[in-house]
Copies of this chain bind each other. A is one copy, B any other.
Amino acid sequence: MDTLTALEALKSLAQESRLSAFRWLVQAGPEGLSVGELRERLDIPPATLSAHLNQLRGAGLVLDQRAGRVIRVRADYQRMNQLIQFLTENCCAGAAASCLPIAPNQEKKS
């Protein structure tokens, strides 16, 4: 993932409603949620949610699929993963040791 794309993704997640929306979608799993369901959970007006979703879409963090009148939205884990990878690489250059405590083959220390 290049810097510009990462920046877009970061901008998209760096906002309360959008981060919250994304977390709901992640929690919902591969099925995702309809825009309406998401709106209920976030309790914000449709137009506002649409604007936020557009931002997340633009960053490639969510995908949607229309089913009749309902649009089902789901988190794009792959893209999220690329972001995490970008951050890991760009956080760890020159200090790998202190930046990989999450890896499953290591003890989670402290």
Which chain B residue lies CB-closest to A8? B14
Count identical subunits in the complex: 2
Chain A interface secondary structure, helix, strand, loop or mixed?
helix
Contact residue among B13, B29, B30, B88 (Cβ-Cβ distance under 8 Å from A84): B88
Given contacts A14-B10, A87-B87, A90-B23, is CB(A80)–CB(B103) below 8 Å?
Answer: no
Which chain B residue lies CB-closest to A91? B80
Interface residues of A in 60-110 (CB under 8 A from B): 75, 77-78, 80-81, 83-85, 87-88, 90-95, 98-105
Query: Interface residues of A toward B: which range?
Result: 35 or more
A61 to chain B, nearest CB (A): 10
Which chain B residue lies CB-closest to A110? B78
